[in-house]
A = this chain, B = another copy of it.
């Protein structure tokens, strides 16, 4: 049991787990399946190696992702949503969907979305 702490509203607890610049992005990618570190890095060209590792550690510590280490050389590590992490699926999907609509509203088109595997369904 963690040290006592007070929240004024429950959403603060959620933000402690998935808040920040990168965590939702990482989790969204993981809703599409297990990913290796290098795959995640390619999917998020702007994240630094350090931030990626750091965020993955924190997500793991909060129990929303699993880290799978294969004992081989060169090293292979995969990340996946844990069972607990899958309980965020609805939220993550909604966040992505809202973002798409917001982009359409603000920019009038989807041109600001980089073309990649995840955005295939928009074409």
Contacts and interface: CB of A to CB of B under 8 A. Distances in A.
A39 B4 CA distance: 27
A12 B114 CA distance: 12
A95 B25 contact: no
Contacts of A15: 21, 24-25, 95, 99
Nearest to A20: B19
Interface of A is mostly: helix
A99 to B, nearest CB: 3
A87 B104 CA distance: 14
A25 B10 contact: no
B13 A102 contact: yes
A116 B2 contact: no
A6 interface: yes
